[in-house]
Structure 1
Amino acid sequence: MIGALSPYPEMRPSGIEWLPALPQGWEIHRAKYSFKEADDRSEAGGEELLSVSHKTGVTPRSQKNITMFMAESYEGHKVCRPGDIVVNTMWAWMAAIGVSRHVGIVSPAYGIYRPRASGRFEPKFLDYLLRTEVYRAEYLRSSRGVTTSRLRLYPPDFLNIPLVQPPLDEQRLIVRLLDWHGAQTAKLIRAKKKIIALLNEQRQAIIHRAVTRGHDTNIRFKPSGIPWLGDVPEGWEVKRLKWAMRLQRGFDLPADRRIPGPHPVVSSGGIIDYHVDARVKGPGVVMGRYGSTDAVFYIEHDFWPHNTSLFVTDFCGNLPWWCFYILRTISKQDHSSKAAVPGVDRKDLFDIVVAVPPRLEQSNIVKGIEDSSRDLNQAITTISLEIGRIQEFRARLIADVVTGKLDVRAMAATMSEVPDAEPIEDVGEDDGFDGEHAEMEGEEVAA
């Protein structure tokens, strides 16, 4: 159906180098002609706290799974209203921008731009337009700073950026088609993610059995002395985790202090950036300290563990890969705090009792897990790549439609409006892991 879309019959030069042509009847004006900076401040900070992401735009913080500390007070935060453009000034170059559908508050460091008059833009159309790749590139060109991590998009520079403006009724048709496509694509991605979840459950069952029962099916067992642990293979030692490996909190490294380099920066959600320096020699094992406390990562080379993570400082003579699998098996959630941002204390982890096999058996366990999981891993990789291609097609379609490369008027006119369309970006995003998003929010609180 989407493949039947065709270009507009008549185009005209736009006068903009990065957007050469527009359909006849479309306008393009600098943002300052339609928007002005707003700086209303919250007196008590009691309004709904909003988040600004390059994936989902402006959404209530309560709907996001964010790795961060909450501020003691939000008094003095900026107030935004429905129809306002909200820009994460520090991450605009990543397209952390959107149009609010809510009354709420955001960081004082953010930019808020209010419509000068109603009836010029359909808010949802503008929300689609502002996070396209062509606009992200323009934010990058318009931002100021020495390095990428220090770039800031200030109000005069944002207001100088041209905004594409189709006729209002055409904006609504564009929104109708993109919402319909988003709803259909969301169903497809959700189905594929359910399959991945089932495959992960199978893989986790393989890992759990291997690290608690061993690779040898003929091995004899002995009582562990721990009721919930049950019997363990003979020759295995039962000990607290602190005697199987040592864990330490990672190191602070704000985005504006990172210098591009070869070493991964690993947070509670995985690799979030690369830095010129490393603090830990590889191979290493990192797990979430806040938010994604059940996430565990094996890092082959030298790396920088972020302060939102814990990393293994001493494997105590055990294989790093075995330590990785044992940390994936134990439930860190049982040892997490019940605060707004769940966190795990390494001292509590140290009291967890585990059964430690001899090093040779550890090697057999690791090999057994790899052999038994190979087909599952390949299937997960294949489906993940399919999801990536679906998301790429979605992004390309949005960009082509909102910038006038494809004419959707006839097709959209036959469609019903999609009520409360689910953003495709929410479905495509892994729960609890949006590394850049988590970093953005950390910057917001510090601002």
Structure 2
Amino acid sequence: MKIDTSSSNNRYQSYSDYKDSGIGWLGKMPIHWQLVRSRYIFTRKQRPVRKNDGVVTAFRDGQVTLRVNRRVDGFTESIKEIGYQGVRKGDLLIHAMDGFAGAIGVSDSDGKCSPVCSVCVARIKIHMPYYGYLVRQLAVTDFITSLAKGIRERSTEFRYSEFSNLELAVPTISEQEKIAEFLDHETAKIDTLIEKQQQLIKLLKEKRQAVISHAVTKGLNPDAPMKDSGVEWLGEVPEHWTVRRLKHTATLQSGIPKGKDLSDKVAIEVPMLRVANVQDGYLKLDDVHNLKIEPSDLDRYLLKTGDVLMNEGGDNDKLGRGAIWRGEISPCIHQNHVFAIRPRDIEPEWLTINTRSEYAKFYFYTVAKQSTNLASISSSNIKETPLVIPPKDERIAILDHLREQLDKLDRVQEFSVKQIELLQERRTALISAAVTGKIDVRNFKVGDTDAA
């Protein structure tokens, strides 16, 4: 996305005069801006750690703050505080491991940080928030491809030695302050819109779960006579429906364990589904691994069209998640952490929608073996899952109804996801345009763009 600076668009104006910077990522820059090598703007500071200093972390969203105020994922966790260094509010932190993922910004706190971060302070008079925006933008976009050794990924380091040789744009101090003020205001507005879309997606997921659970346990006829299901946390179900254990309507096939020694044995290589391939309601088949097995094991672990695949464990909210196998790969087997459930007298779609309902999720949670942030469920507990089973014509009608309702919710959610992508693109484009001088915000005042 490119920010329009044409004369017909009065929202963002460009500078009147530009010059060629000679720098590929910068292109033309305002004629009065200067280029200064980074090492003449910043110096790397090694401060001692003070008593009672809290841990300051550079997160991937550009926030640099005390860890106690933030989530604990998305950054490198240090086991021992060896080599920690002091941080002061206003320092620029560059995370070596996660810099290209966005972990660069200005600290809002005093504290200490891991040696994986470079702590940068100013050699000359600058407005640090402007450079927080500029340096992070250079890292997360394709401006500085020379720093990335191959594809940018978590293991690609943003090294200070290379950063220090970069030539950076130096507007006047007043412009640096105005650009940072403009971006603080405008990105906050965009972030608010993104948050609203994220909240909508959360509500849509809750609505989706409610629609599934009501249809599966109550049916489509609000006037149907009800009876006690016999399951305390399931409550009442339509009087003519059946409630029975999964083991009485399906068979469960366990998967093959890995690591079997096949030395000096005849072996064949076949595709094998792992936990990563089985998502909530769909299969992710872009990275299916192969496994060498004995030919006699093929039939024992072979997947058949109509099997319902369920994962043994994972996060609590993913317990029992699964999808229907429709013979996408043939032949294909499954590992021992993925169960293949083969319905005998109900549709695989009905079994799947049952296991995605709130009552089934509650059951899985209560019987699961819990560990730190993870849970697992045994095959014997899967077999004991209570299934709510209406007559076939009602099952088909409910599935058709759910397909229609869920498709509507999916379309709204897809639209919200697209809106978030567009807002994120606009945020990136706006930051790029401002920090590189493609738009002139010297006359910006809070409220100028609020009505736009």
**What secondary structure does 1:22 align onto?**
strand
Match of 1:13 in 2: 20
Choose from 24, 28, 31 the match for 2:38: 31
Cα distance change, pair 404–146 in 1 and its aligned pair in 2 (3 A): closer
Say if 2:411 is the partner of 1:382. no
Unaligned runs of 5+ in 1: 252-262, 303-309, 419-447
1:359-438 aligned within 5 A? 364-412=397-445
Q: Distance in 2 between matches of 1:70 and 1:142?
A: 20
Whether 2:389 is the aligned partner of 1:357: answer yes
Q: How far apart are the structure 2 equivalents of 1:377 and 1:400?
A: 34
Q: Equivalences for 1:209-248 in 2 at 5 Å? A: 209-214=214-219, 222-233=227-238, 234=240, 236-239=242-245
Distance 1:359 1:105 in 2: 64
- 1:156-171 equivalence runs, <5 A: 156-171=161-176
Instruction: Find the aligned partners of 2:15 and 2:380 in 1 and give their Cα distance.
Output: 61
**1:315 equivalenced with 2:320 (yes/no):** no
Instruction: Please state how far the C-alpha of 1:144 moved relative to its aligned partner.
Output: 3.0
CA distance in 1, matches of 2:52, 2:248: 43
Distance 1:97 1:71 in 2: 16
> CA contact under 8 A between 1:145 and 1:152: conserved in structure 2?
no
C-alpha deviation, 1:19, in angstroms: 1.3
Corresponding residue number in structure 2 for 1:256:
none
Match of 1:437 in 2: none
Out of 120, 133, 138, the residue aligned to residue 128 of structure 1 is 133
Q: Tell me the residue number matched to 2:314.
A: 289
Task: State the Cα distance separating 1:11 from its structure 2 match.
Answer: 1.2
After superposition, what is the alpha-carbon deviation per residue over 1:77-131, rounded to whole angstroms, capped at 9, x for unaligned? 53333333333323333333222222344444x23132143622x2221222223
Q: Quote the residue 1:119 is aligned against.
A: 125
Which residue is 1:4 aligned to? Answer: 11
Partner of 1:424: none
Note the C-alpha offset of 1:160.
Answer: 2.0
Counting aligned pairs with the same residue, the percent is 22
State whether residues 124 and 175 of structure 1, in contact with CA within 8 Å, keep that contact through their aligned partners in structure 2.
yes
AA aligned opposite 2:340: D
- Cα distance in 2 for partners of 1:269, 1:132 equals 34
For the residues of structure 1 that align with 2:31 and 2:369, how far apart are their CA atoms?
A: 59
Q: Distance in 2 between matches of 1:70 and 1:353?
A: 39
> Could you say which residue in structure 2 is the equivalent of 1:84?
91
Separation in structure 2 between the aligned mates of residue 28 and residue 111 of structure 1, nearest angstrom: 25
RMSD value over aligned CA atoms?
4.8
Q: How does 1:56-71 map to 2 (within 5 A)?
A: 56-67=62-73
1:17: how far off? 1.9
The verdict on how the C-alpha distance between 1:193 and 1:148 changes in structure 2, with shifts beyond 3 A counting, is closer
User: Match for residue 297 of structure 2?
Assistant: none
Q: Using the alignment, how far apart are the partners of 1:113 and 1:39 within structure 2? A: 7
160 and 383 in structure 1: CA distance in 2 versus 1, 3 angstrom threshold: same
Matched, 1:75 2:101: no
Is 1:137 paired with 2:142?
yes
Structure 2 counterpart of 1:152: 157
TM-score normalised by L of structure 2: 0.68
Are 2:223 and 1:181 equivalent residues in the alignment? Answer: no
In 2, Cα distance between equivalents of 1:403 and 1:394: 14
Give the structure 2 partner of residue 101 of structure 1. 108
> In 2, distance between residues paired with 1:349 and 1:3?
67
Q: Structure 2 vs 1, CA of residues 52 and 348 (structure 1 numbering), >3 Å: closer, same or farther?
A: farther
- SS, match of residue 68 in structure 2: helix
Give how far 1:278 is off: 3.3
Match of 1:278 in 2: 289
Change beyond 3 A, Cα 1:66–1:286: farther
**SS of alignment partner, residue 158 of structure 2:** coil
| Separation of aligned partners in 2, 1:96 and 1:157 | 17
Contact 2:75 2:98 in 1 (8 A): no
Cα distance, 1:288–1:142 mapped onto 2, change above 3 Å: farther
Aligned to 2:215, the other structure's residue is in SS state: helix
For residues 242 and 160 of structure 1, the distance between their equivalents in structure 2, rounded to whole angstroms, comes to 70
Tell me how many residue pairs correspond in the alignment. 392
Q: Which has the larger radius of gyration?
A: 2
How has the CA–CA distance of structure 1 residues 18 and 102 changed in structure 2, closer, same or farther, with 3 Å as cutoff?
Answer: same
Q: 1:189 & 1:44 partners in 2: Cα distance? A: 39
CA contact (8 A) 2:18 2:29 kept: yes
| Alpha-carbon spacing, 1:400–1:64, altered in 2? closer, same or farther (3 Å) | same
Q: 1:266 to 1:56 in 2, by over 3 A?
A: farther
SS in 2 for 1:86: strand
Matched AA of 1:313: F
Partner Cα separation in structure 2 for residue 38 and residue 274 of structure 1: 47
Helix, strand or coil at the partner of 2:230: coil
Shift of 1:175: 1.5
Deviation of 1:181 (Å): 1.6
Alignment-mate amino acid for residue 178 of structure 1: L
Structure 1 residue aligned with 2:355: 326
Secondary structure of the residue aligned to 2:142 is helix
- C-alpha contact (below 8 Å) 1:290/1:344 kept by paired residues: yes
Paired residue secondary structure (1:410): coil
Give yes or no for contact 2:58–2:105 (8 Å, CA) kept in 1. Answer: no
Does the CA-based 8 Å contact 2:245-2:386 persist in structure 1?
yes
In terms of mean alpha carbon deviation, does 355-364 or 76-85 score higher?
355-364
Contiguous gaps of at least 5 residues in structure 2: 259-273, 292-302, 330-335
Distance 2:349 2:206 in 1: 23
Question: 1:285 & 1:184 partners in 2: Cα distance?
Answer: 42
CA 1:118–1:125: 2 relative to 1, 3 Å? same
Q: 1:365 to 1:392 in 2, by over 3 A?
A: same
For residue 343 of structure 1, what is the amino acid of its counterpart? L
**Partners in 1 of 2:82 and 2:376 — Cα distance?**
33
